[in-house]
Copies of this chain bind each other. A is one copy, B any other.
Amino acid sequence: MSKNYTVADYLLDRLAQIGIRHFFGVPGDYNLQFLDHVIDHPQIAWVGCANELNAAYAADGYARCKPAAALLTTFGVGELSAINGIAGSYAEYLPVIHVVGTPALRAQRAGDLLHHSLGDGDFGHFSRMAKEVTVAQTSLTASNAEAEIDRLLTTALFERRPVYLLLPSDVAEAPLSSRPAPLMLRQPNLSDASLQAFIAAAREKLQAAQRVSLLADFLAERFGAETVLEQWMNEVNIPHSTLLLGKSVLDETHACFTGTYAGAASDPQVKQLIEGADVVINVGVRFTDTITAGFSHHLPSEKCIDIQPFEARVGQQVFSQIPMRDAVKALHQLTLSLARQWQLPAIKRPLLPDPSGSGLDQHAFWQQMQHFLQPGDILIADQGTSCFGAASLNLPRGCRFIVQSLWGSIGFTLPAAFGVQTAEPDRRVLLLIGDGAAQLTIQELGSMLRDGQKPVVFLINNNGYTVERAIHGPEQRYNDIAEWNWTLLPQALGHNVKCLHVGEPEQLRQALGEVHGSEQLMFIEVMLPKMDIPELLDTISRAIQSRNAAA
């Protein structure tokens, strides 16, 4: 028992116990007391961001690489600026621990007219808002702190989603009598009866099949099924694919990996290999509009086995209380023998399309990127031409692909790349972002430079919001943006950065050559034609346009 041990210290020790080593955020006068403890903590480093939305995005990126992430904002102004980022973490299952420094409890109870409040004495507005985009919320006091902190952290880890902790400035400093014992993590329930029934139903379905395929998506990564999935795919030959949101969940160098599946927008062979099977096994898949080109997937549930985080389905039958990993392991064992009777069609990975001319266009760019990629790279592609073009890349082994296809907040990836590089200082991070998207969140480039990070930033300059042009209004003024001098910008935001402007294939080749062994952050402005739209984006955007139109 330490005399000066406080609620702030307990929270930080717990965060360290669950594997958090960095705290992202922006200081504000209601969180400065807590921040003193962050600075003093031996295991956790403070990572100041330029604004709160960027800090939330950075935390989200960090949570994609670590068990969880921590975000600190101040009451009202700070937390609301961050809330779009938190909502994205909620939609895409990232455990971000959002700590909000608030006015002291006595001031809240008195209903004082404080700055950062709405001036009506009601201090509950923002926590009611947070309730919509977090899985647990609490307002800490000296007496509830230990139990509530533990409840929120275990909930965030169990559900893989953000939680919201209000930490009044006086409570942060309140003394506690004990340091934390090891945290008991919550484990998902496994019903053995349910598992046996699932296996029986799956056996029946798979026994009758001649062709079987498998689709994996992002939830397989979020709920820790990647390793068991890989073991399965290594021992049993099943043609398999991912959707865009889950790209890199499966090893793309595997002989049975078919390429990225995207409903009707898939390469015809990929579509045939997946949809043409008698039984399709889905692991951690959510069929959302963009990644299925407007729900154009033809996968009737009768022929699917669907594995979700805590339950599994065979056709319409639901088997509850089966954690994803257990379902995957069970199917692995089950298919070891069954697979012998299945047909294995020939699988030839789709090739990237050839450049249409001698200039630098989307095709030429992605072909060079394909050769540039190295095993272990982390590729982060913004929602737009970047991610839809990158969808066709064949990822080297151990390469990680990060995209935000469901929430789809443009500009997300730049601060997310900052968070990812903070979590993974020794891996090469490649950021692909359009000029329109980069304008939303550009200031975090300054934080990368401040911290000496050396990602490679590809600024795809296609003169405005090309992803919106693809959907609607290709020549409308609202899809134009302010013209920036991109190659001046990085030097304005810091030091130790090299900027290159490439408009021809040969220039791009030279620029990529310079990246190897560079000891600087490389910022490469890639000029691409305004209306040059990757095929996948073209198909998807036509689907979206027709769904948005009047009936």
- Residues 421-449 of A contacting B (Cβ, < 8 Å): 439-443, 446-447, 449
**Contact mask A384-414 → B, CB, 8 Å, 1/0?**
0000000000000000000001111111000
Tell me, rounded to whole Å, the shortest Cβ–Cβ distance linking A241 to chain B.
Answer: 19
Contact check, B112 vs A295: say whether CB atoms are below 8 A apart. yes
Residue of B nearest to A122 (CB): B132
- The residue in A30, A106, A449, A493 that gathers the most chain B C-beta atoms within 10 A of its C-beta is A493
Contact check, A29 vs B81: say whether CB atoms are below 8 A apart. no
Q: How long is the Cα–Cα vector from A406 to B151 in the complex, in angstroms?
A: 34
A181 on the B face (CB < 8 A)? no
Interface size bucket, A side?
Answer: 35 or more
| Residues of B contacting A48 in the complex (Cβ-Cβ under 8 angstroms) | 477-478, 480-481
| Residues of B contacting A538 in the complex (Cβ-Cβ under 8 angstroms) | none
A506 on the B face (CB < 8 A)? no
Contact check, B132 vs A30: say whether CB atoms are below 8 A apart. no
Contact check, B549 vs A33: say whether CB atoms are below 8 A apart. yes
Contact check, A51 vs B81: say whether CB atoms are below 8 A apart. no
Q: How long is the Cα–Cα vector from A287 to B411 in the complex, in angstroms?
A: 39
Contact check, A548 vs B33: say whether CB atoms are below 8 A apart. yes
With A128-B132, A548-B29 known as contacts, the answer to whether A50 contacts B295 (CB < 8 A) is no
Contact check, B288 vs A114: say whether CB atoms are below 8 A apart. yes
Tell me, rounded to whole Å, the shortest Cβ–Cβ distance linking A288 to chain B.
Answer: 4
With A118-B90, A119-B91, A446-B439 known as contacts, the answer to whether A113 contacts B484 (CB < 8 A) is no
A529 on the B face (CB < 8 A)? no
- The residue in A30, A32, A441, A447 that gathers the most chain B C-beta atoms within 10 A of its C-beta is A32
Q: How long is the Cα–Cα vector from A443 to B480 in the complex, in angstroms?
A: 15
Residue of B nearest to A129 (CB): B129
| Residues of B contacting A295 in the complex (Cβ-Cβ under 8 angstroms) | 112
Contact check, A84 vs B91: say whether CB atoms are below 8 A apart. no
A354 on the B face (CB < 8 A)? no
Residue of B nearest to A169 (CB): B548
> For the complex formed by this chain, how many copies does it contain in all?
2
Tell me, rounded to whole Å, the shortest Cβ–Cβ distance linking A375 to chain B.
Answer: 31
| Residues of B contacting A482 in the complex (Cβ-Cβ under 8 angstroms) | 50, 446-447, 449-450, 493-494
A66 on the B face (CB < 8 A)? no
Contact of A36 among B409, B465, B473 (CB under 8 A): B473
Q: How long is the Cα–Cα vector from A126 to B551 in the complex, in angstroms?
A: 25
A103 on the B face (CB < 8 A)? yes
Contact check, B471 vs A32: say whether CB atoms are below 8 A apart. yes
Tell me, rounded to whole Å, the shortest Cβ–Cβ distance linking A454 to chain B.
Answer: 16
Tell me, rounded to whole Å, the shortest Cβ–Cβ distance linking A371 to chain B.
Answer: 31
Contact check, A440 vs B443: say whether CB atoms are below 8 A apart. yes
A306 on the B face (CB < 8 A)? no
With A484-B493, A548-B33 known as contacts, the answer to whether A468 contacts B115 (CB < 8 A) is no
| Residues of B contacting A153 in the complex (Cβ-Cβ under 8 angstroms) | none
| Residues of B contacting A51 in the complex (Cβ-Cβ under 8 angstroms) | 53, 411, 439-441
Residue of B nearest to A549 (CB): B170
Q: How long is the Cα–Cα vector from A187 to B53 in the complex, in angstroms?
A: 39
Q: How long is the Cα–Cα vector from A488 to B449 in the complex, in angstroms?
A: 16
Q: How long is the Cα–Cα vector from A28 to B76 in the complex, in angstroms?
A: 26
| Residues of B contacting A115 in the complex (Cβ-Cβ under 8 angstroms) | 288-290, 405-408
With A76-B87, A125-B132 known as contacts, the answer to whether A32 contacts B443 (CB < 8 A) is no
**Contact mask A169-195 → B, CB, 8 Å, 1/0?**
110011000000000000000000000
A154 on the B face (CB < 8 A)? no
Contact check, B28 vs A468: say whether CB atoms are below 8 A apart. yes
Q: How long is the Cα–Cα vector from A507 to B85 in the complex, in angstroms?
A: 43
Q: How long is the Cα–Cα vector from A446 to B492 in the complex, in angstroms?
A: 14
Q: How long is the Cα–Cα vector from A119 to B340 in the complex, in angstroms?
A: 38
Contact of A550 among B119, B170, B488 (CB under 8 A): B170
Contact check, B479 vs A484: say whether CB atoms are below 8 A apart. no
Residue of B nearest to A471 (CB): B29
Q: How long is the Cα–Cα vector from A495 to B541 in the complex, in angstroms?
A: 34
With A76-B87, A170-B549, A289-B112 known as contacts, the answer to whether A35 contacts B119 (CB < 8 A) is no
Q: Can you show 26 pairs from A to B with CB atoms below 8 A apart? A: A27-B478, A29-B548, A30-B548, A33-B550, A35-B473, A48-B477, A50-B440, A51-B441, A76-B407, A77-B88, A80-B87, A83-B83, A83-B129, A87-B118, A91-B118, A104-B551, A107-B547, A115-B290, A117-B406, A119-B288, A174-B550, A442-B442, A443-B443, A450-B482, A482-B493, A488-B492
Given A29-B541, A483-B495, 14 more A-B residue pairs with CB atoms under 8 Å apart are: A46-B478, A48-B477, A48-B478, A77-B88, A77-B408, A80-B83, A113-B286, A113-B289, A116-B407, A170-B548, A449-B482, A483-B494, A485-B492, A489-B489
Q: Which 10 A-B pairs have the closest CB atoms?
A: A80-B84, A32-B472, A446-B482, A488-B492, A450-B482, A77-B409, A173-B550, A169-B548, A51-B440, A489-B492
